[in-house]
């Protein structure tokens, strides 16, 4: 029997129209060392003989693969049409990768999920190395995994709105730290349930503060704001939030072992581009640039926004599904993957 928390938080959602819409993808399964079954979506190039690179697109905190594969604006499909063999995993507790208990932390991703996912992608695709595109926490995991395992089979990396020290610059997450005594009494935060319920009201002005946490409103259509919040979020365990909260501590992200990832950052040898949005409410441009500086010469920050030659500012999700991302951001991602 599934854990009763799933019965509370993962019952069928309302607003079926907002959740509707499917994009073609093959579905694969891998199993972690502790027995968790993870789902991976694959979008192949039209001609397999024309594959230019194999890339994993990894989602962020409390999200799922759908952010990369929106029916209305799919980065995965766009890359596949240009010769990229695209893989989109759902980490444990996200999307279709179900778990029985809400008790995992970032260490479980690094020690169990990522090794199984990378091995699976390499085995199914027949490639030796995988390019890694990570949004938000997906980019944090890229940097942490590469720093801890310099010999990992990662060819090139891209982070979208990710840093290892969120104490630099402004972040709306900092205000949530004041709620920590309350949150510590909970097992999980039903973030997905909240966003699903509020989705029909979004993009209409009434929920602007919540929307701005995820997007810069003028750079994404109101209907996509509603679809994003209806489709892409899930319950977040307190144990995971507790481990990610260390990004606000001196020294940045800390694992259960006591290892500070920033201290290991110079060991990250993968060539990486780090994208930042000028109106990202979650991670500041300063935080991204500092992380790039600490990683070293193989890290290149790329800032997206009005002051950097773009038509509008960029928020946290606009880099993936913003109305201008397909012509201002995605081509830079593609260029890096096939360089």
Q: What is the pLDDT along the chain (339 residues), one digit of tens a residue?
A: 444 444 344 444 445 555 555 678 999 999 999 999 999 999 999 876 789 999 999 999 999 999 999 988 999 999 999 999 999 999 999 999 989 899 999 999 999 999 999 999 999 999 999 999 999 999 999 999 999 999 999 999 999 999 999 888 888 877 776 767 777 788 899 999 999 989 999 988 766 778 899 999 999 999 999 999 999 999 999 999 999 989 888 888 999 989 999 899 989 999 999 999 999 999 999 999 999 999 999 999 999 999 999 999 999 999 999 999 999 999 999 999 998
CB 160 within 8 A of CB 134: yes
Overall number of domains in the chain: 1
CB 86 within 8 A of CB 116: no
pLDDT at position 7 is: 39
pLDDT at position 220 is: 95
CA geometry: angle 281, 138, 45, nearest 5 deg: 115
Q: Look up the CATH number of the domain holding residue 114.
A: 3.40.50.1820
pLDDT at position 224 is: 95
pLDDT at position 204 is: 86
CB 186 within 8 A of CB 287: no
CB 136 within 8 A of CB 63: yes
* Pairing assessment for the beta strands 84-90 and 53-58 based on DSSP bridges: parallel
Tokens of 258: 């006591």
144: how many CB neighbours lie within 10 A of its CB?
A: 25
- The contacts of residue 193 (CB under 8 Å, 6+ apart) are 9, 13, 235
pTM higher than 0.85 for the full model?
A: yes
CB 319 within 8 A of CB 172: no
pLDDT at position 78 is: 97
Range(s) of the domain holding residue 39: 4-337
Tokens of 323: 């109305």
């Amino acid at each position: 029997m599934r854990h009763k928390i799933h019965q509370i938080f993962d019952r069928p959602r309302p607003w079926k129209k907002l959740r509707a819409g499917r994009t073609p993808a093959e579905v694969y399964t891998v199993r972690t060392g502790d027995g968790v079954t993870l789902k991976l979506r694959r979008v192949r190039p039209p001609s397999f003989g024309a594959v230019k690179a194999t890339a994993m697109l990894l989602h962020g905190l409390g999200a799922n693969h759908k952010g990369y594969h929106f029916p209305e604006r799919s980065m995965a499909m766009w890359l596949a049409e240009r010769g990229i063999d695209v893989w989109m995993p759902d980490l444990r507790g996200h999307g279709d990768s179900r778990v029985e208990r809400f008790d995992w932390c970032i260490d479980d991703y690094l020690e169990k999920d990522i090794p199984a996912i990378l091995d699976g992608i390499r085995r199914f695709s027949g490639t030796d190395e995988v390019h890694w595109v990570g949004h938000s926490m997906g980019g944090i995991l890229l940097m942490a995994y590469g720093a801890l395992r310099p010999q990992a089979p990662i060819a090139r990396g891209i982070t979208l709105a990710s840093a290892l020290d969120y104490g630099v610059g402004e972040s709306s997450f900092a205000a949530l730290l004041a709620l920590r005594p309350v949150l510590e009494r909970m097992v999980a935060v039903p973030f997905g349930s909240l966003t699903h319920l509020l989705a029909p009201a979004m993009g209409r002005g009434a929920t602007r503060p919540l929307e701005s946490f995820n997007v810069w409103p003028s750079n994404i259509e109101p209907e996509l704001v509603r679809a994003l919040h209806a489709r892409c979020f899930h319950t977040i365990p307190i144990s995971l939030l507790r481990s990610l909260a260390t990004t606000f501590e001196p020294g940045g992200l800390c694992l259960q072992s006591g290892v500070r990832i920033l201290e290991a950052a110079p060991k990250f040898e993968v060539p990486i581009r780090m994208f930042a949005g000028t109106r990202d409410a979650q991670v500041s441009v300063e935080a991204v640039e500092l992380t790039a500086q600490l990683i070293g010469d193989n890290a290149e920050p790329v800032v997206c926004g009005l002051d950097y030659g773009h038509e509008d500012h960029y928020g946290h999700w606009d880099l993936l599904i913003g109305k201008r991302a397909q012509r201002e951001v995605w081509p830079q991602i593609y260029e890096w993957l096939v360089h």
